[in-house]
């Protein structure tokens, strides 16, 4: 039920959370996600990915078995830790994920996006008294930074976005960024990109459901394809995307 202010119906809490999630998961969020292809640029150049079907297969496999599944699982744990003011656990999972990165490119991407998101949040809420501004450890400044998964969790919890919705939003945001990279690189049409995103919805839902039930000692991924592509992209002669 909405709150009435000056005779007008204001947004209810559920609507506010939804709008915050849409903003946080938007490709337009100015954190630099659009400048990375996560190895896709190399795979397109070598012909491994040359059409919509190949891109859909790659993204599906990454969602089911790859690094993004691990990132999302850590995001969920960071969300719970931040909600409980458990900064020891928050630091642990942030460092755990950083250690799991196979390449400098992937580490740099995650840290740059994490710093940018924390900085953006503070710019949006310079006088805010939310838990983020009040209780985040001082050495976790935007300059010092953290993984993007951790920053996403902090902002989602601060905006009171429900945890499963935040998880779906994280996976959807990652998928959208890779599809947009594929549209530029392969290239694909905009309609093909939207069809691909629609096709991947069942995988996004099933992946989120599986991640929610994963115990800590079952956090693993089959990530060698991405790791090799990322390492080769660092020295790729001609690039559109950042390394």
For the chain, the domains span: 50-225
How would you write the pLDDT of the chain (243 residues) with one tens digit per residue?
344 444 444 555 588 999 999 999 998 899 999 898 888 888 889 899 999 999 999 999 999 999 999 999 999 999 999 999 888 899 999 999 999 988 888 899 999 999 999 889 888 887 664 444 445 654 555 556 799 999 999 999 989 999 999 999 999 999 999 999 999 999 999 999 999 999 999 999 999 999 999 999 999 877 767 777 777 777 766 777 765
Q: Which two tokens stand for residue 65?
A: 């078995």
Residue 219 CB coordination number (10 Å): 17
Separation of alpha carbons 98 and 102, rounded Å: 9
pTM: 0.89
Q: Residue 153: name the closest of 121, 106, 200 by CA.
A: 121
Q: Which two tokens stand for residue 120?
A: 């953006």
Q: Which fold has domain 50-225?
A: Urease accessory protein UreF (1.10.4190)
11 DSSP 8-state letter: P
152 DSSP 8-state letter: H
**Nearby residues of 230 by Cβ (< 8 Å), 6 or more positions away:** 38, 39, 42, 102, 103, 105, 106
**For residue 191, how many C-alpha atoms fall within 13 Å in the half-sphere facing its CB?**
0
**Nearby residues of 187 by Cβ (< 8 Å), 6 or more positions away:** none
């Amino acid at each position: 039920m909405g709150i009435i202010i000056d005779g007008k119906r204001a947004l209810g809490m559920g609507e506010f959370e939804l709008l915050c999630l849409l903003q946080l998961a938007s490709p337009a969020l100015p954190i630099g996600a659009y400048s990375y292809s996560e190895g896709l640029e190399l795979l397109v150049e070598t012909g491994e990915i040359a059409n919509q079907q190949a891109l859909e297969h790659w993204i599906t496999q990454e969602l089911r078995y790859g690094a993004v599944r691990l990132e999302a699982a850590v995001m969920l744990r960071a969300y719970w830790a931040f909600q409980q003011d458990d900064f020891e656990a928050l630091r642990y999972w942030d460092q755990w994920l950083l250690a799991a990165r196979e390449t400098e490119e992937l580490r740099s991407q995650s840290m740059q996006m994490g710093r940018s998101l924390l900085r953006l949040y503070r710019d949006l809420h310079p006088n805010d008294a939310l838990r983020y501004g009040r209780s985040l450890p001082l050495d976790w400044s935007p300059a010092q930074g953290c993984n993007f998964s951790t920053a996403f969790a902090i902002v989602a919890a601060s905006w009171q976005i429900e945890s499963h919705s935040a998880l779906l939003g994280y996976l959807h945001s990652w998928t959208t960024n890779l599809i947009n990279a594929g549209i530029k690189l392969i290239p694909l049409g905009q309609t093909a990109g939207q069809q691909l995103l629609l096709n991947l919805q069942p995988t996004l839902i099933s992946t989120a459901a599986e991640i929610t039930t994963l115990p800590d000692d079952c956090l693993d991924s089959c990530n060698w394809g991405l790791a090799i592509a990322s390492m080769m992209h660092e020295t790729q002669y001609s690039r559109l995307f950042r390394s």
